[in-house]
Amino acid sequence: MAGGTWTIQNKRRPGAYINTKGATQAKPDTTIGRTLLINANPLNWGKNGVIELDYNSDFQALLGAGINSDGFAALRETLKGALTVLLVNSNTGEKAMLADDKLPWSFTAKYAGTKGNDITVDVEKDPNDETKVTVTTLYQTKMVNQQVVRTTSAATLKSNNYVDVVLVPDATPDPTPEKGKIRATASTVGEDKLVALPASSSYQLIGGTTTDDGDITEMVTTAMDSEQYNVVTTAGFDLDSNIHALVAETTKRLREESGYKIRAVIPNNEGIYFDYEGVSVVANGVELLDGTLLDTTIATGWFAGISSATGIGKSLTYTTYPDAVAANPKFTNEKTISALDDGQVVFTTRRDDTVVVEQDINSLTTITDDKPIAFTKNRVIRTLDDIATDTADVFESQFIGKIDNNSTGRDLFKANRVSYLSTLNAAGIIQGFDAEDLTVEPGIDADSIVVTLGITPVDSMEKLYMTITVR
C-alpha cells in the first residue's frame, strides 16, 4: 500500500496521503492592561525611552527612587488600574564613572543622570582571609549589591542593576617573558592591585549629568507609534501643558490613518474641548483614605490605567476608585450635569463615602449620523475597536497573500468573521447579530474586497425610571 504526506496533489499510487498540522489560532490582545504614561517629572536616572513597569518592578533601580517617593503620584495611581505601565522617560546626559588606578575595575553608572553621582563602591578585605574581597555597591545610603571575589579572580566581579563593571587589564605583558616567568592570564589580572589595597576603601562615582532637552515631542510620538498599549495618558502634567493636545492629535491620527485603535485619557483644562471618541477627559480628582488630596491630573492616571485593563463588554460607570473617600473637588448636581454634557469623566462621592466614576464616557459631544450618541460611551468604543482590530489582525495574518480573491475565498473570510461576531453576540457584547448582517463583496481592484457589517453593541444599565403606585 502507498501513503504518507503530500505537498501537491501529484501522487501516482492509490493510497491515503495525510498531513497533520495545527489550526491557526486567533492572537490574544497583547495590549490589554498596558498604559503608556508620559513622565512629567525629570528622574535624573533611568533608560532614555520607554521603561516597562508593574507593581513587582524594582523602581529604585529603574527610576532612581521608590514608588512611594515624591513625584511618582501619577505613576502610583496609574498602576492601581493598569497591569503594565510603559513610562516614557526623557533622560539624557552623561553617566557617572569611577576609574581609579588602584582598582582592577572601572565602574560606569547604568544610566545617565545626576543620580549616578549617588553611587558608591566599597571594597573590603576579609580580616580572616585577605584573599577574599567584598565589593559593595551603595546607592545613596542603601546597599544594592554585594559580591565576594578572590584576589586571584578579579574577573568574576559582575555588573549589577546600578553599575556596569569592566575589568581593567594589567600593563601589557612582555610578549617574550623571561624563562621561568608566567604570562598574566584572565584569572590573575588585577591580583597585584587587590593585594595592595588597604583593608577597607571607598570610591564615589562622579561626572553624572542630566541634560534638559525641553521638547519631548519626538520621543512621545515615537513611543505612541511603536509601543504596544491600548491607552495613553498625560497624567501628571500641568493642565496648561501643550503635551495634552499633542497626545490627543496623535491619538486621532493613529486611529484614523494607521488603524491603531488606541485611546487617550487627559486631564481637563477649562475651555479646551477635544470632541473625539478616542479621547477621554477627566474633570476632577479625589481625596484618599489617608487624607492625601489628588488633583485632576494625578487622578487621571487611575482612570487611564483602569481603562486599559477593562475589556470589551464592560463599563466603568459607577466603578469605585480604590482607597478614595471623597471627590476633589465635589461637584454639585448642576456642575456634574454640565461636565457630563461637555464629555468629561466625573468622580462622584456616594453617601457611603466611596467615590465612583459617574459615567464611563469620552469627549465626543457633536452627535451626527456617522457618530451617534452611542459613540460617547467608552464601552461601545471598546467593542468597536476590538472588532476593527481583530478583523485587521485576522486579515493580515491569515488572508493577505494566502487566499484567492474569488467567491470561495470571500466566503472563507465571511465565515471567519461570522464565527467571531457570533461569539461576541453569545457573550452579550453585541446583540441581534445574524450572518446576513455581514457581506463580503469584490472591490474595484482585483486584489480588494469590500466588507459591510451592521451590529448593535450592548450598553450597560445606567438609568432607572420607576413608578410606584400605592393602592
Residue 116 has pLDDT above 80, yes or no: yes
Of 98, 79, 96, 97, give the one whose Cα is nearest residue 87: 79
Q: Which pLDDT tens digit goes with each residue over 364-421?
A: 999 999 999 999 999 999 999 999 999 999 999 999 999 999 999 999 999 999 999 9
What pLDDT is stored for residue 28 in this prediction?
54
> How many residues are recorded in the chain?
471
Q: Given a cut of 90, is residue 39 above it in pLDDT? A: yes
Would you say 459 and 315 are in contact if contact means Cβ atoms under 8 Å apart? yes
Residue owning grid cell 461637555: 342
Q: What is the pLDDT of residues 442-462, one digit of tens each?
A: 999 999 999 999 999 999 988
Residue carrying C-alpha cell 549617588: 118
Average pLDDT value for residue range 48-73: 96
Positive/negative CA dihedral, 236, 238, 243, 245? positive
Name the least confident of 131-145, 175-189, 450-464: 175-189
Instruction: Express each pLDDT in 299-352 by its tens digit.
Output: 999 999 999 999 999 999 999 999 999 999 999 999 999 999 999 999 999 999
Cell digits for 125?
Answer: 578585605
**170 vs 25, higher pLDDT:** 170
pLDDT tens across 339-377, in order? 999 999 999 999 999 999 999 999 999 999 999 999 999
pLDDT at 31: 78
Domains, the chain: 34-90+215-357 (3.30.1370.220), 93-210 (2.60.40.4290), 373-453 (no CATH)
Per-residue pLDDT, 186: 47
Write the Ramachandran bin of 180: left for phi over 0, alpha for psi from -120 to 50, otherwise beta.
Answer: left
- Rounded average pLDDT over 1-24: 56
What pLDDT was estimated at residue 212? 78
Q: Give the confidence band of 8 by pLDDT, cuts at 50, 70, 90.
A: low
Report the pLDDT value the prediction gives residue 23, as an integer from 0 to 100: 44
For 396, list phi and psi in degrees, rounded to 5. -70, -35
Element (H, E) at 383: helix 378-394
**Of 11-15, 32-36, 251-255, which gets the smallest average pLDDT?**
11-15
Query: Is residue 51 within 8 Å of residue 34, measured between CB atoms?
Result: no
66 or 180, higher pLDDT? 66
Q: pTM surpassing 0.85?
A: yes
| pLDDT at 407 (0 to 100) | 95
Segment 180-208 shows an average pLDDT of 78
